[in-house]
Amino acid sequence: MAAALADYKSASVIKPEEKYPRERIVELTALLAEAKARDDAYNKFILQADQAFAQAIYPVSLKNYQDALEVKPESATRKHGSKRSGPS
């Protein structure tokens, strides 16, 4: 997405009268901001989960891993979290 944004910005400089590149710049900027916000929230939950797990606070760890998966369900391939939480 960042490469596309750079291309639209270049196009906007070359043809400043064109509306389409400006519209795509606004759209892509919003999408990139959303993605960053999701990544930040996911990383915060993972950090909190890892810290709770290290302190053997398993219910908190599990909840944070689950919250992280709600933010980014595609990250379910993460090797620890709900599978690892709790004593074995």
**Residue 78: pLDDT over 60:** no
pLDDT in tens, 13-66: 999 999 999 999 999 999 999 999 999 999 999 999 999 999 999 999 999 999
**What is the pLDDT at residue 85?**
47
Q: For tokens 């916000």, what's the residue? A: 37
Dihedral sign for Cα atoms in the order 45, 49, 52, 57? positive
**Residue 86: pLDDT over 80:** no
Q: Residues 67, 83: contact at Cβ < 8 Å? A: no
Residues 6+ apart with CB under 8 A from 46: 64, 65, 68, 78
Which amino acid, one-letter code, is at 48?
Answer: Q
**What is the pLDDT at residue 75?**
83
pTM for the whole structure? 0.73
Q: Residues 24, 3: contact at Cβ < 8 Å? A: no
